């Protein structure tokens, strides 16, 4: 298998940036001090952050644009969940303001990219299947 990032979901800037965000979070989680708080928050943050690129990729692989858009929406929700966990770590004093700012900057950029992609899919969505009741009467 090649590592070609120019095709498929790997070629999407939104996936690349989401994957970088998830990696940043995973590396951060491994450096958190061991406490009851961080053992609870860390895995939740890693799961939420990892869900962002995973849902971008899964949506890309779906058959319809509607399903793709839905997965982008799920990715966006996971991104906002990540932001909430990041804020909790910061408020509890487990990450510095610099780390907090870096992660929030990534979150805000990803939110913009996901929203732009979702809006673009709305504009290009093909005709919807419409069932007519009369077709069932024969």
Q: What is the pLDDT of residue 9?
A: 93
Which ranges of the chain does DSSP label H, i.e. alpha helix? 13-31, 36-60, 65-91, 97-124
In the block, tokens 């869900």 appear at 51
Structure tokens at 77: 């929700």
**Per-residue DSSP letters for 116-136?**
HHHHHHHHH--PPP---GGGG
Task: Summarize pLDDT for 43-61 with one digit per residue, the tens.
Answer: 999 999 999 999 999 999 9
Q: CB-based contacts of 8: which residues, under 8 Å, 6+ apart?
A: 60
Give the pLDDT band (50/70/90) at residue 127: very low
Kindly report the length of the chain: 138
Q: How far apart are CA 38 and CA 46, in angstroms?
A: 11
Q: At what angle do helices 13-31 and 97-124 cross, to 10 degrees?
A: 150
Q: Residue 129 has what pLDDT?
A: 37
Residue 94, pLDDT above cutoff 50: yes
Average pLDDT value for residue range 98-120: 96
* Topology at the third CATH level for domain 12-123: de novo design (two linked rop proteins) (1.20.1440)
- CA–CA separation, 66 vs 127, rounded Å? 11
Residues 106, 92: Cα–Cα separation, whole Å: 21
Distance of alpha carbon 5 from alpha carbon 17, whole angstroms? 12
Query: Considering only 35-49, 80-94, 119-133, which range has the smallest mean pLDDT?
Result: 119-133
Asked whether the beta carbons of 49 and 21 are under 8 A apart, the reply is yes
């Amino acid at each position: 298998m090649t590592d070609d990032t120019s095709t498929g979901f790997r070629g999407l800037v939104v996936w690349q940036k989401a994957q970088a965000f998830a990696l940043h979070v995973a590396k951060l989680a491994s450096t958190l001090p061991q406490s009851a708080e961080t053992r609870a928050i860390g895995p939740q943050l890693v799961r939420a952050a990892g869900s962002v690129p995973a849902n971008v990729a899964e949506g890309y692989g779906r058959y319809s644009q509607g399903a793709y858009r839905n997965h982008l929406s799920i990715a966006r929700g996971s991104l906002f969940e990540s932001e909430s966990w990041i804020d909790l770590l910061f408020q509890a004093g487990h990450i510095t303001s610099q780390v907090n700012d870096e992660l929030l900057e990534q979150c805000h950029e990803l939110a913009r990219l996901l929203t732009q992609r979702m809006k673009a899919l709305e504009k290009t969505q093909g005709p919807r299947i419409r069932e007519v009741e009369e077709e069932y009467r024969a």
